[in-house]
Amino acid sequence: MPTERPNVGCMITAVGAEGDSDESWYRQIISDAEVAESLGFDAGWIVEHHFSDYQPTPNPIVMLSHIAARCPKLGLGTAVIVTPWHQPIRIAEEIAMLSLLTRAPLRIGFGRGNAPLEYEAFGVAMGEAKDRFEECWDIVQLALKGQPFTYLGQHLQIEREVTMRPFPRMQQITFVGAIGHPTSAEKIGGYGLAPLVNGGPGLDVHRNILAQWSDSVRRHGGNPSLPKIVSPLTIIADTDQEAFQLARRYVPRWYQLQLEHYAFDAVKYASVPGYQPFTDGQKRRQAWSNPDNLDPLIELSFIGSPETVRRKVQAYLDLGYDYLLLNASTPGMPEHLRHDWLTRFARDVWPYVGRQQTTRKAEVAVA
């Protein structure tokens, strides 16, 4: 029976081998994007982080604009723009400009962030994050319509009527919402945003997230056929043992930097609305910064031999995901290893996985 291949993108972030300069990190982003384009991937995705060694890319759109010129066939993604830290008309203007600089797909992910460091530096109260995210999304949608508008929200006001220019090419843009915890799935579906989920939770948690998102998007009149994106860590080697050894060598540093970047004052922020689940995330980061504790994460990630990774990919596809956002870009990772793993995925995994087309059509019909 014919199969439908999942779309595949990859993270392209500011990382490199120990001792590499910031300039080298950024040049490696371009190199990673060129590899992704040559492999036929859907898009290269950029994160937004500030003020630390944890993948510092303070303006994803600036980097993506450069990639648009260097890699015209490669789609461009953000994972994610943290909207509460930005003036939302500015966000909309930058997205509109980017849509005119490329004919490739734009996968624009939004989130509300978790780092007190960044919230405090930008002078935004974490307790306002949820409401500011909603108001930013409202304003971005209004601005991108290319019509006169005003907006009066609790935190954000646009009292003078404006019309945003330039006018965007909306047909190539897909908006995505980060789901860092299952409690966010219903909200992201209600906003009409495609779901983006990291590969850390167990498969039962993923099943619950997709079910809540699907129910919410239908109840709010959204589009249930939006891409459903999952982003597991990716390390592929000749054998499972070799891949697991590489994971234990390189992955803990990523979580160590996360612990430092997301340093959370449990007393100061314990009562912040919407951030109670954050302590669970910090516990996982603490555990996974120790290479001896990585077995659960390895099992949930695209880490192993090609045959093992095919099995893991298929498990996510069977849950309902149809877009794989590979994360082979972690701090301390030499460039040649990232490129090898992406190449192996394109050659040894991607052609051998997929969902039966009849199953997919049946799901769309029900939606």
Residues 149-192 pLDDT 10s:
999 999 999 999 999 999 999 999 999 999 988 889 999 999 99
Q: Residue 313's domain spans which residues? A: 3-251+292-366
**Strand 157-162 relative to strand 149-152, pairing:** antiparallel
Q: How many structural domains comprise the chain?
A: 1
The identity of residue 341, as a single letter, is W
Residue 278 falls within a domain, yes or no?
Answer: no
The identity of residue 127, as a single letter, is G
Tell me the average pLDDT across 195-216. 95
Summarised one tens digit per residue, pLDDT across range 63-87 is 999 999 999 999 999 999 999 999 9
Residue 319 falls within a domain, yes or no?
Answer: yes
Summarised one tens digit per residue, pLDDT across range 17-69 is 888 999 999 999 999 999 999 999 999 999 999 999 999 999 999 999 999 99
Tell me the average pLDDT across 329-348. 96
Looking up residue 101, the CATH number of its domain turns out to be 3.20.20.30
Measured CA to CA, the distance from residue 74 to residue 102 in angstroms comes to: 9
| Residue 19, C-beta contacts closer than 8 angstroms, at least 6 positions apart | none
Place of tokens 């969902």: 355
Residue 301 falls within a domain, yes or no?
Answer: yes
CA angle 309, 258, 226 (to 5 degrees): 55
Measured CA to CA, the distance from residue 215 to residue 323 in angstroms comes to: 19
Residue 261 falls within a domain, yes or no?
Answer: no
**Local confidence band at 366 (pLDDT 50, 70, 90 cut-offs):** very low
Measured CA to CA, the distance from residue 237 to residue 244 in angstroms comes to: 9
